[in-house]
Amino acid sequence: MDLQQLGRRICILGPSNSGKSTLAQAIGDKLQLDVIHLDRLYHYPATRWQARPPAEFSALHQAAIDRDSWVIDGNYSRLLAPRLQRASGFILLNVSPSVSLLRYFRRTWSQQRIGGLDIARDRISWEMIRYITGTAPAKQQALAEVIAAQPQAKVMISSCAGLKHYYQHWALSFPTSGASSQAR
């Protein structure tokens, strides 16, 4: 599938550390779309992952998806339904828990990451390890079923090789860490 077939409102979903934010940034750069990282909407800026109240996050989420065009990354299943309705296309990253875990460890050693908060670094935690290896795989299966049922264009990517294929097929440039922009 060509990238343009996904339209101008592209929703990228998948487990933690699957490459959603980096892919969103690459697509946003290529198509000149606003890039919206849900982690940045959910957490207050310049904090160490302090969450916003649900109503505030919902309002920011709605304002973001009401735009004419965007590429948005993140799951936040509580607010998935309105995104499903507004999206013109979906990309589901369905990488294995072992890949997500390896990327999680790598992320904790990085100074900055695309889609992260400016001053917050990821730290290794048993809670996150349990989530990646236990909770996320079950949620991912349910998410895959929801996305498969959507009528919009969709791309399902289930491996690192598959992700690399689409970077090449869509002629995407791999963005550098910290190059992320919330919106153009």
> What pLDDT digit, counting tens, does each position of 22-76 carry?
999 999 999 999 999 999 999 998 887 899 999 999 999 999 999 999 999 999 9
In a domain, 68, yes or no: yes
- Looking at residue 65, its amino acid is I
In a domain, 184, yes or no: no
Domain hosting residue 14, numbered range: 8-169
Query: Helix, strand, or coil here: 92?
Result: strand
Count of C-beta atoms within a 10 Å radius of residue 14:
27
Q: Across the beta sheet with 35-37, what order do the strands follow?
A: 35-37, 70-73, 9-13, 89-93, 153-157
In terms of Cβ atoms closer than 10 Å to its own Cβ (0-12, 13-18, 19+), residue 78 is exposed
What pLDDT is attached to residue 68? 98
Q: pTM of whole model > 0.85? A: yes
In a domain, 3, yes or no: no
Region of poorest pLDDT, from 24-38, 55-69, 77-91, 170-184 = 170-184
In a domain, 178, yes or no: no
**Residue 6's pLDDT band (cuts 50, 70, 90):** very high
In a domain, 95, yes or no: yes
CATH of the domain at 117: 3.40.50.300
Of the chain, the end-to-end C-alpha distance in Å amounts to 26
In a domain, 16, yes or no: yes
Tokens of 20: 């959603």
pLDDT tens-digit map of 103-131: 888 878 766 666 665 655 667 889 989 99
Question: H or E stretch including 97?
Answer: helix 97-109
**Residue 184's pLDDT band (cuts 50, 70, 90):** very low
**Residue 179's pLDDT band (cuts 50, 70, 90):** very low
In a domain, 79, yes or no: yes
In a domain, 104, yes or no: yes
Strand residues in 21-127 grouped as ranges (E): 35-37, 70-73, 89-93
What's the structural domain count of the chain?
1
State percent of the chain over pLDDT 90: 76
- 146-175: average pLDDT: 96
- 85-105: average pLDDT: 94
Give the residue, 115 or 20, on which the prediction is more confident.
20
